Structure 1
Amino acid sequence: MSQPSVHPTAIVSAGAGLGSGVKIGPYCIVSEKVVLHDNVELISHVSIDGNTEIGAGTQIYPFAAIGHKPQDLKYHGEDSRLVIGERCVIRESVTINPGTEGGGMLTKIGNDCLIMAGAHVAHDAIIGNNVIMANYVGIAGHCQIADNVIFGGNCVVHQFTRIGRHAFLGAHSMIDGDVIPYGMAVGNRAALTGLNLVGLKRHKFDREAIHRLRAAYRMIFSSEGTLRERVEDAAGLFQGDQLVQDVVAFIAAASDRPILLPRNGHADD
């Protein structure tokens, strides 16, 4: 067990909880309700406020503002929370806001996430594990981002949008609809452009499972019948196939946003 290391220029409230091996660099500010678990490191000039908990081994770089009042006019000072997972890397000038009464009182970021410089995560967003946000990504309020999603730089996401696991969102895209698991979306406004085949191969998904997913994708986003009918057909034809059933369940779930479709309304491949 090693004692926390706090630079003489840092301001740390007596009420803050500091785990073993915490390092707080020059000119950081940590308020009284903040909890920093073991081996969290604040490089310098980091400001952490509110009811904020940061998981073990997370690093936060200069000028990040974490846990400050949400950018929501409906927020009235409720004691909402922000929870950031373990081993995350939060780069320069990132802003992450806590939840609100209208959204469940919680913003949550999973483990092993990389949030690059200038990115923003708004109130009540729920972010999964192993998510990568490149520079200046903007996640609006109430979004749900599943595990292993990758965002290109300057990508922005409309409030209440869902992004399925292993999806890839291209740089400079404006995402205003739900993106299926394993999908790839690009553009302003974004359209579904296929499956994230590179990501699937990198994560060593079975080749035959990927082939079945491609066949289901072509079926679901074909031009015949309704989307509901095509999803039901895919669910029946690919029973027991986990990747396909992930997509089917995602589309079937209730949402405030429409499902993002290919530009021409159906799959080309």
Structure 2
Amino acid sequence: MAPRPRECADDWRLQTDNLEVRLTKDPFGIEIYDDDETLLYEDLKERSFMMDDLGRRWHYSVIDDHDHFYGFGEKTGSLIKRLRNMKMHQIDACGHDAVLSDPLYKHIPFYIRFNDATGKAAGIFYNNSFDSTFDMGREWSGYWDHYSYYCTDGGDLDMFFVNGPRVRDVVERYTDLTGKSVLPPLPSIGYAHTTMFYTELQHDVDKSILKFFDICEKNEIPIDEFQLASGYTCMPNGKRYAFCWNNDKFKDPAKFISDVEKRGVLLVSNVKPGILTSHPHFAEYQNGG
């Protein structure tokens, strides 16, 4: 049964089995309480939802000194993202700084907020794939309660609140909403190595990678997976042609793959998600649909 709204003097209230959602009338804002009457989430009143002349949409939330933030996809630095300002934009961030660079490859507008005073966690997910920014308390104004904000370049402010109270509860419910991962190959749980260095060499890349495996073995470093960067498809003209091997770099790809398997390493090859019009097999692929 859907929760029925109940009008009070200052707000509308919706009750579920575990939560009470209050929609304040003036100024408008969202407040969410659990069945212990603990405040789990609160909009920054009078600035809850805003839009500028460029069409960017803003959503402001109240935070406090006990809040810690985790998530946001692939980000550098500490796991705790308090006081970070982070851009959501996919970029090929080769050679990035492991502490300060932003953004990286994965854009996931979801985070978990854990409050160490209440011991309760909740998740916030924005169902929007536009480029966006999260500011988790870095911006500060003496006119307002301490706040975080989400700003998106376009689309809707389609926010999902994911209840806890434990972090694992948030993760379970978030993945109920967005989908769960399949069980990964067992080697991927071990030590996996990837680098562009080897496949950008001009000759004998296969021998260099196998030598790296020998170095790992000599130093008692178990390696379970090697992710082959796209340089194995890079031809003398500098173009990368998916499903092709550069035979100056790999004299015998089948033998190389066999040698990798004999060492007990799972080989994962990078495949670009597109075919260039100059690809040697372009006409064949085009005619084949």
TM-score, scaled to structure 1: 0.29
Q: Higher relative contact order by CA 8 Å / sep ≥ 6: 1 or 2?
A: 2
TM-score, scaled to structure 2: 0.27
Higher alpha-carbon Rg: 2
